[in-house]
Structure 1
């Protein structure tokens, strides 16, 4: 061969994937000479080998011992493809063919299809000459024949696997056939065992043949063999169940014989013989593990499971399947343990124990192996299997459709049943298949049990070629890392989903709502209208839609949560309405299923607040906030302002603009209500948030109205809105009015025209602010002269009025005046005017007496007729007005000299009065407690009923609902009432002493 031809030949070898070109060239020369096949024909299929160097080396070793089989298999196109693929993926098979060169001949037609389960059993029983359950001689030679025949069949399965165009798609069928082969091997080994222990056998046994024949032994496949998901080289987990044909032999004798059979069967597979073991037969999942009897009767097994079994043992039994031996006894065993498996999740702390067991597996991985552990490490095969099994065990309590043995089958039914989302299921299924392909290729390499990814670039390169999953070792490692991240993320979200514990802990009678006792159960747990509740449940769960399916699974748990609320009937009704509004929204269904915290919070807010429920009917997408606590915190005013301005820029018409502003207000008040009820927002945050939302809404509406009404020739016309009362103090509650004053300045305009323009703005502002769903009352009754005075005044008119006519109560009202909307300059000037009135340098004693007189008059005359004065949260003794009037009196008397008192906040002024020594710490604490409690009760009353009221209700259910909003346990109506009366009594005594004294 010329140097040019040699260089070209070496280039071709490199293109086919060979590495050590010099050695390969020499080996090809040797093989070509030994089998008389041209080099070109020899390497035609080499490109299909994961490691063509190893494949060639294996062929040469076999040819040196026996050239004819190598020549015959390479002489066919199919045989050549299979042998290159098989030996290129497996040094273990190269060693097998070195021991048994003639076995190569069976590769000539291999790989076209998988052998059927019947063919596997027939072949392996034929290898030991089995007839009617007994092998021909019971010798070690039969074990050797069994192992050789098994590996012949294994090579056929591997050939199909390696040559398949889609190994990821084929892995389920391959794994199933490997499990079938294992079962057939155990059946054949059992046949040898029967002969070996029988008297008259080739090796001389201990038991009469008729007694052996009468002994029943079922081999139960566990783990991957039971699930038909076996690897190429994996421990085969089994449990042995023994019994007897009672007409021939008793149980005691039968168990003795069955134990000998089990030991010999395991030896036939796993003992060291001339032909290496196939795999380890592991019986340690039996009752009591290694310390327990190897074989038990069915009754003994069941007795153990009833009395002593741990949670993990039921998890293991999930995959139990008759694998070999007596099929009838095997089926009896599986049928008997099924009810125990599918009720095991109801055991105390079951979910926690399974989660902890998974964590212990991870903790015991050597640190230097964690990054390479394909099976046990984070993001590996076990994460998928444990997640799927836990979901099955928990939900299998009530849904027999998900009682599948196989992982991939289970994923399919879990997604069909709505227990996991399609995206998560798709990722899990694909990644599980991909991980299993990698596992298979790694085990084929040396025909040894391993789950560690290669640590060398060369090892990764070969694995990448063998699996077909990536182009090169580095890309394969990147793929492996990506799969780990995907799997771990889904595993953590699903495996530690709190809803699992909630479902598992349901009482048995609460797992189904379709029983005749459903009506009585609903009444027993707190529903006042069980018939109505059943109608709502039926509407939510009937049908075949995915939505109905998911809600059928969730409803038992959610009904429990609704029942824990103050008004479960309304909560369920509101949930139905929201669910109907959202339709089949994937995010809503996913949230309910995947986030028990969000689902439970939803039941809590709906069963605890009609105010929230009614708003959520209009804004059902707000449910999504419950899945992210950050979404329940108040939004900053600047963000709301920016949003409102952006809306107004998009809408040229005033009606469209203010409609959008109303939507913002509803949305943000709903956010605040949900955050407050769920304790995400404090009472101070709620008040501040409600104030900010009201400010932004009025500001945005004012901008829209001004744009429509103020003409271009208005000159320097200024308009501003001053917050008063609780609004001015930034202390709004749910249902509070917005007390305001309107002020304008029109230096370049005729006074009458300026007044008309200001009143037009006020009228339009009030009209545009109307919201029938969530009323916003702009109350201007605190203006000069009250309801008899003009709605808007110029700054000069305010100044003139306060100079000449101002009453003491008007100065008192100005203590909470705070400009917030309109002209900044005008607000500044009005504030300066107000300061001069509300913080006078000298106090008029007559004015102070007048304030006290008015307060007494208010207490006697302002209360609605027929209302119990002590229950009025605003005007009652020791409530809001007492605290506010006392604080305001101190502000009027001392505000000029004590800067801290110059605040619109009641609590801020109260703290300042305490700091200045005007109030004792005890007095300040008791007054503050009364004010906060009355404020919270007022808001809670609105949240509970959906209606504004200043009266503490007498109805015990309403009181209990209000108490629940304030964080009290169920049935706290009397407790909250007693606290209210005690707190207000103490505050009233202090008020009377300091205000009137």
Structure 2
């Protein structure tokens, strides 16, 4: 069927439709075949000239198929079939020869309808399936095979046969094997005159009996069947013989298929089997040309669909169709697969099957591989409708589309077929009604039964409307929520997350692609209402949860650029505040998530929060456009780069200039900066800004000039102010100005050590803090910040030792390490203080997230204490006992080293 650019009139001369011949996929072959037919049947030419439909059908068939061309040349009645493609010839099973000839005629009609575009892929597959079923029914009737049911497997059962498919069957009968098996073989023998019939999918394959009873099938499925055999049952359908028996067998098979748990081991087994089949194709060097078993081919699509059926079909009967395209549509409708992925897989499946059909029509051979002969590939491309164009030759365009489809399908297949959510579902695929969910709540650790029952019902109603995938996911979600600190809170937050169609869509897509997304989301919303609310406002962040690199805090320069971009185009202060607050919350979620997932130490959390605060101040300050050199100096934990979640931003504001104009501008900038970042109300707050460590405290100007700072420090600075400057550091604005000021103050802060009176003053101030600063309602015995042996004890001790020795380090933990290296602090004492600092800092951070509000002492109520303890993977008793241990040891060091007590 080689092609030349143009064909010359043959013996018959012009036919009257020569242009159509030239436009066919194989002009030379078509003209030669027509000449032979017309020579044998001279009336044919007139019929073709007069009958447009017959002519188009004949040209399309002859251009595509040598085997059908031979049929048309040898059987005049075959040419008559093309005159009316709507008229299906009646089944003729008078003899085997009659049945074979009828099969060829109907096969021709189906092919002609396909090649002329009257039928799409699904209609063609159904027509070929009906043809095969009629042959099997005729074979049963001709064999007098009573009491025998024929079950179609594979593409026969799925009503998606190819032109040269094997007809996969198994047989069932309740009769005696010695009586019924010869009849089954006779049925196969007749059917094999029309099709390749394969019964090797039966239990034990070729070594097993050809016919089994239903009980025998059940015994085999119970004890011996492999996962792939249950996969094969997806497409099992009664097709011929005893209809009632066939239905009984099918009902039994369905019960075994869908009541049997689909385990993670089954999942791995099927993946291994497929991997071996692919390796064989690759070994034979056919990966690029094999459209069925090669990477990105038909099998990738079919296995993806079937695996999703096996995983989800236990709970969703709508997924139990044996047909690939029908199931693919249902998977998309129920959100088990995204619409885009489903469309691409469906389009690629139709493309591959069209190529497969055209390959098989050439010589009625079971072919799935592109030919190596270029002329044959050219012929294939043209039968498929490709023509040479500016985009390339017909062959180049076909190969380009094939490569594109292979890459696309493989990518989707690997993303779905190997996604972890399938592992999570395997063995846990029972869907839950609201009633069933409620029954499990107590066992799962949910305590507020009435509120939680209402949440489950509301959530399930919403999931039923939006996604059957999510309905199935509910048991897993409840399992994961049960391991979170507060399952009741988690369920309520999860219900709130599904409050809008947009959020539901984002969550379904994220859950579908990753079980870890769902599991980690359950952990976060079951830990913190604050984080749950952040996610509700930023549902796109959910997809980042499994990827630590996507949760990392950016370097400072990138954070600053990002913060500035977030507010750059907004004019009103309120709009800029809102944008910056949303920006901060999005980045805070990453910090908190890494903390909760155990991927960030106390030091890392402190550094990340500090960078976030610095970027916030830089962006806010830049938007105010200071007209004098203006700098922000971080103090306290902010200056030490060791912020906690509830920390205020302790700051000093310094500007350059002595004029009234400069003073007024600096005051404007400082006031507006505090208002911008601190907000006028808690709802507007981005960070709490505290400038009370400035000279003269609240009584002094908010911003002070460079010279004003030097004058104050020369004449009025007190010991506590020296101590505060231990952690002072430039954090925003004019860095050179800030560094010059700190350099100028350095001799006053560090140069003189501490006199005995100054040491006594620091000790007295610390004692006042212990006695006066713990707010009412907070437990002084378990106070994480101001309690004996807790954070403030360690900070005061480190700072006093630094001032006495001149050892400089920014931050408490780095200071302890530096003091140890300088032999100012004994190594064991440094370890004890560092342990207490880390423990109290970590618990305080976590309690803020769990409580979703600042609180510096361990909770006194049992429930909040339990939530906090679970979040830290411990028990309430052990949490309090460890607090006692580490703070008691730290306090002993503080009393000896800080207070100078002996013994």
Q: 1:240 aligns with which of 155, 163, 171?
A: 171
Matches within 5 A, 1:428-507: 428-468=345-385, 472-506=394-428
Q: Distance in 2 between matches of 1:988 and 1:111?
A: 102
Q: Which moved more, 1:977-986 or 1:601-610?
A: 977-986
Q: 1:386 aligns with which of 272, 292, 303?
A: 303
Residues 1:184 and 2:134 are matched in the alignment: yes
Per-residue deviation, 1:45: 4.4
Residues 1:216 and 2:147 are matched in the alignment: yes
Q: 2:759 aligns with which of 819, 831, 848?
A: 848
Q: 1:732 aligns with which of 639, 643, 646?
A: 643
Q: Which moved more, 1:387-396 or 1:219-228?
A: 387-396
- What does residue 597 of structure 1 align with? 516
Per-residue deviation, 1:182: 1.1
Per-residue deviation, 1:840: 1.6
1:684-742 CA-to-partner distances (Å, cap 9, x unmatched) read 332222112222223333444565xx7xxxxxx54432211100011101111111223
SS of 2:800 mapped into structure 1: helix
- What does residue 159 of structure 1 align with? 112
Per-residue deviation, 1:884: 1.8
**C-alpha distance 527-113 of structure 1, shift in aligned 2 (>3 A):** farther
- What does residue 597 of structure 2 align with? 678
Per-residue deviation, 1:236: 1.2
**C-alpha distance 109-618 of structure 1, shift in aligned 2 (>3 A):** closer
Q: Distance in 1 between matches of 2:811 and 2:263?
A: 55
Q: 1:317 aligns with which of 233, 237, 242?
A: 233
**C-alpha distance 610-650 of structure 1, shift in aligned 2 (>3 A):** same
Q: Are 1:541 and 1:548, in contact at CA under 8 Å, matched by a contact in 2?
A: no
Number of residue pairs matched by the alignment? 890
Provide the TM-score with structure 1 as the length reference.
0.83
Q: Are 1:533 and 1:572, in contact at CA under 8 Å, matched by a contact in 2?
A: yes
Q: 1:982 aligns with which of 885, 891, 897?
A: 885
Q: Are 1:379 and 1:483, in contact at CA under 8 Å, matched by a contact in 2?
A: yes
Per-residue deviation, 1:540: 3.2
Per-residue deviation, 1:542: 2.6
Residues 1:513 and 2:433 are matched in the alignment: yes
Gaps of at least 5 residues in structure 1 are: 1-15, 33-37, 130-141, 195-211, 244-250, 271-276, 711-716, 896-900
- What does residue 91 of structure 1 align with? 66
- What does residue 280 of structure 2 align with? 364
Per-residue deviation, 1:539: 2.8
Residues 1:305 and 2:221 are matched in the alignment: yes
Q: 1:82 aligns with which of 38, 41, 57?
A: 57
Q: Distance in 1 between matches of 2:385 and 2:22?
A: 12
SS of 1:176 mapped into structure 2: helix
Q: 2:4 aligns with which of 6, 10, 19?
A: 19
SS of 1:369 mapped into structure 2: coil
Q: 2:269 aligns with which of 333, 347, 353?
A: 353
Q: Distance in 2 between matches of 1:662 and 1:675?
A: 20
SS of 2:644 mapped into structure 1: coil
Matches within 5 A, 1:694-705: 694-705=613-624
Residues 1:146 and 2:146 are matched in the alignment: no
Residues 1:609 and 2:584 are matched in the alignment: no
Q: Distance in 2 between matches of 1:800 and 1:333?
A: 98
Gaps of at least 5 residues in structure 2 are: 389-393
**C-alpha distance 158-561 of structure 1, shift in aligned 2 (>3 A):** same
Per-residue deviation, 1:760: 5.2
Q: 2:851 aligns with which of 927, 932, 945?
A: 945
Q: Are 1:390 and 1:495, in contact at CA under 8 Å, matched by a contact in 2?
A: yes
SS of 1:720 mapped into structure 2: strand
**C-alpha distance 746-944 of structure 1, shift in aligned 2 (>3 A):** same
1:134-173 CA-to-partner distances (Å, cap 9, x unmatched) read xxxxxxxx434432321222111111111126x6xx1110
SS of 1:650 mapped into structure 2: coil
Q: Distance in 2 between matches of 1:812 and 1:113?
A: 97
Residues 1:914 and 2:831 are matched in the alignment: no
Q: Distance in 2 between matches of 1:973 and 1:281?
A: 69
- What does residue 246 of structure 1 align with? none
Q: Are 1:470 and 1:479, in contact at CA under 8 Å, matched by a contact in 2?
A: no
Q: Which moved more, 1:935-944 or 1:550-559?
A: 550-559
- What does residue 136 of structure 1 align with? none
Q: Which moved more, 1:818-827 or 1:489-498?
A: 818-827
Q: Are 2:65 and 2:363, in contact at CA under 8 Å, matched by a contact in 1?
A: yes
1:804-823 CA-to-partner distances (Å, cap 9, x unmatched) read 33332221111001122333
1:739-776 CA-to-partner distances (Å, cap 9, x unmatched) read 12233443233xxx866665554444333322523562
Q: Which moved more, 1:324-333 or 1:576-585?
A: 576-585
**C-alpha distance 892-470 of structure 1, shift in aligned 2 (>3 A):** farther
Per-residue deviation, 1:297: 0.9
Q: Are 2:798 and 2:812, in contact at CA under 8 Å, matched by a contact in 1?
A: yes
- What does residue 410 of structure 1 align with? 327
1:493-541 CA-to-partner distances (Å, cap 9, x unmatched) read 2222322232333274xx22244x4322122212212332232233334
Q: Are 2:2 and 2:379, in contact at CA under 8 Å, matched by a contact in 1?
A: no
Matches within 5 A, 1:526-925: 526-542=445-461, 547=466, 549=468, 551-581=470-500, 583=502, 586-626=505-545, 629-646=548-565, 649-705=568-624, 717-749=628-660, 758-759=666-667, 761-768=669-676, 769-770=678-679, 772-773=682-683, 774=685, 776-786=687-697, 791-864=702-775, 867-895=778-806, 901-925=807-831
**C-alpha distance 115-420 of structure 1, shift in aligned 2 (>3 A):** farther
SS of 2:336 mapped into structure 1: coil
Q: Distance in 1 between matches of 2:667 and 2:540?
A: 39
Q: Are 1:739 and 1:780, in contact at CA under 8 Å, matched by a contact in 2?
A: yes
Per-residue deviation, 1:580: 1.8
**C-alpha distance 164-965 of structure 1, shift in aligned 2 (>3 A):** same
- What does residue 391 of structure 2 align with? none
1:457-483 CA-to-partner distances (Å, cap 9, x unmatched) read 322211111122565111000011111
Per-residue deviation, 1:426: 1.4
**C-alpha distance 788-85 of structure 1, shift in aligned 2 (>3 A):** closer
Q: Distance in 2 between matches of 1:957 and 1:90?
A: 77
SS of 1:670 mapped into structure 2: helix
**C-alpha distance 357-921 of structure 1, shift in aligned 2 (>3 A):** farther
Q: Distance in 2 between matches of 1:473 and 1:938?
A: 68
**C-alpha distance 115-974 of structure 1, shift in aligned 2 (>3 A):** farther
Q: Are 2:635 and 2:725, in contact at CA under 8 Å, matched by a contact in 1?
A: yes
Residues 1:936 and 2:847 are matched in the alignment: no
Provide the TM-score with structure 2 as the length reference.
0.91
Q: Are 1:742 and 1:791, in contact at CA under 8 Å, matched by a contact in 2?
A: yes
Q: Which moved more, 1:766-775 or 1:936-945?
A: 766-775
Q: Distance in 1 between matches of 2:606 and 2:501?
A: 30
Q: Distance in 2 between matches of 1:63 and 1:742?
A: 102
Q: Distance in 2 between matches of 1:647 and 1:361?
A: 52
Q: Which moved more, 1:859-868 or 1:419-428?
A: 859-868
Q: Are 1:241 and 1:298, in contact at CA under 8 Å, matched by a contact in 2?
A: yes
Q: Distance in 2 between matches of 1:776 and 1:474?
A: 61
Q: Are 2:296 and 2:410, in contact at CA under 8 Å, matched by a contact in 1?
A: yes
Q: Which moved more, 1:921-930 or 1:422-431?
A: 921-930
Q: Which moved more, 1:51-60 or 1:983-992?
A: 51-60
